[in-house]
Amino acid sequence: MKSLILFVISLPLIFAGCSAKKSMSPYEARINMSSQREAADYATGTTVTAESSRPGTARGGSTSYAKKLRAVNKDIEVADKNDQNPSDSKPESKSDAVKISRMIIYYGNLSISVLHPEQSLQKALKIAEDMGGYMKSRNNFRVVLRIPSAKFFKFISIIEPFGEVTSRRIRSEDVTAQFVDLSMRMNNLLKARERLLAILAKAVKVKDTLEIEREITRVTGQLEQIKGQLRYLQNLVSFATVTLRFHKKYSSMQSSGQKIKLESPIYWISTFDINNLLRN
Amino acid sequence: MKKYLLIFTVLFALGCGHVNFDPPSEFIEKSKTSERLVLVSSDASRIRLSWRENTKNGTHKFWSNLMKRELTTFKGYKLTNTEEYKSNATIMEFTPPPLYKDYIYTVAVMTNDDDLYILELGCETSAYAEKKKSFLSLLKKVYSKEIN
């Protein structure tokens, strides 16, 4: 008898649990996972350090940065699919709190003095391609490369020994808040559109139908805009932007006698040459 | 009172700058500051006159040697000719590195106790003879007005 009562009491709980799981949007599912992971981190005393937030460094042991990026990408794709088939998606406002693991954009800017700029540049391009990156633009010996974020620091460490680094600037930008904000707005808009579609199905008057459709168009427009921004951010996070400048290095070592020539003690004297004159 | 003020302003304006020279024939003034005058010709040759404050013992030989060293040792220029102009000036002709292989770069360094003048000419080899005349004419003007 007792077991029967327990079974009857637990039935609604089981159904509630199942329905909650079914109606969970992909973002919420991932966010839930992220929350659980963070909760686990806090529970085990693991804190997010600069080292652990570096791309390519595993955080919490098993989950790598690349995996996280793939997960987010997948979510955006799923959201797109749901968007194409709105009947399949069932957004539910179980929790509006969106938590996303850290999203960081990396930028690198290097000026390197080398003996053969063209050769060095070609070599850098080859390394970038081997690492899964690509060239964004090139202007003489200045090249902008996109390198997978996970390999950003490795790429820099390979490039630096090419010559004498005359300038090095590396910065990062945390866009987690922006990403969370956009994700939340996307979720809200998806829900709003669902509701509008439901109202549209019930509308009888032509005037009402037109008004709802207009509203749906507006919401869809905003939704597309946010998805575009999310994709753009995603791309920036996935690929670090590295700007390389190669300068010709005039060897101060005489090839035969290995004699060191000291540079001029008067800095402005180097501004006098035909190149400077003809470009004045 | 106004009259004196006007005269003072005009005189002050005339006195400002160290490179108040008219361009020689075939050249026009491209830009001018108190310390630098840039002239161009129709075939894109350039003459530039620069002024700097001279320091103690800063003879024309010192500055011309420094410039020669900078250009030949670090920038790949070849010195083709050197000549002294009067007592306080040196004229040097250089063949630039391969990027400007069809050009000639000429520099004149002039000094007195307070001033250091550097006059440069950059032009194609084919036009050099013609342009050097203009260069020398400006050199004479600078020398007679500022160095002597």
Which range, of A83-97, A112-126, B33-47, averages the lowest pLDDT?
A83-97
Looking at residue A262, its pLDDT comes to 81
Local confidence band at A242 (pLDDT 50, 70, 90 cut-offs) = very high
Residues of B in contact with A273 (CB under 8 A): 71, 75, 77, 96, 105
- The C-alpha atoms of residue A149 and residue A130 are separated, in whole angstroms, by 14
Helix (H/G/I), strand (E/B), else coil: A171:
strand
Would you list the DSSP string of B121-139? Answer: EEEEGGGHHHHHHHHHHHH
Say which of A261, A269, A277 has its CB closest to residue B66. A269
Higher pLDDT, A85 or B94: B94
Mean pLDDT to the nearest integer, B34-41? 95
A263 to B74: CB separation less than 8 angstroms, yes or no:
yes
Tell me if chain B has a CB within 8 Å of the CB of A262: no
Q: Nearest CA to A76 among A217, A195, A187, A221? A: A187
- The C-alpha atoms of residue A166 and residue A246 are separated, in whole angstroms, by 10
Chain segment A19-30, per-residue pLDDT in tens: 443 344 443 344
Residue A160 DSSP class: G
Chain segment A165-193, per-residue pLDDT in tens: 888 899 999 999 999 999 999 999 999 99
Residues of B in contact with A141 (CB under 8 A): none
Mean pLDDT to the nearest integer, B108-133? 95
Looking at residue A50, its pLDDT comes to 35
Looking at residue B60, its pLDDT comes to 95
Instruction: Give this prediction's pTM.
Output: 0.43
Higher pLDDT, A160 or B3: A160
Rounded (10°) CA dihedral B128, B96, B68, B35: 70
Statement: residue A42 has pLDDT above 60: no
Chain segment B41-77, per-residue pLDDT in tens: 999 999 999 999 999 999 999 999 999 999 998 888 9
Q: Nearest CA to A183 among A99, A110, A127, A258? A: A99
Mean residue pLDDT of chain A comes to 73
A269 to B52: CB separation less than 8 angstroms, yes or no:
no
Tell me if chain B has a CB within 8 Å of the CB of A50: no
Closest-approach residue (CA) in chain A for B75: A250
Closest-approach residue (CA) in chain A for B32: A280
Higher pLDDT, A162 or A215: A215
Helix (H/G/I), strand (E/B), else coil: B66:
helix
Statement: residue A280 has pLDDT above 90: no
Min CA distance, B15 vs chain A (Å)?
25
Mean residue pLDDT of chain B comes to 90
A278 to B44: CB separation less than 8 angstroms, yes or no:
yes
Looking at residue B24, its pLDDT comes to 95
Please say whether the beta carbons of A245 and A110 come within 8 A. yes
Looking at residue A33, its pLDDT comes to 41
Higher pLDDT, B84 or A57: B84
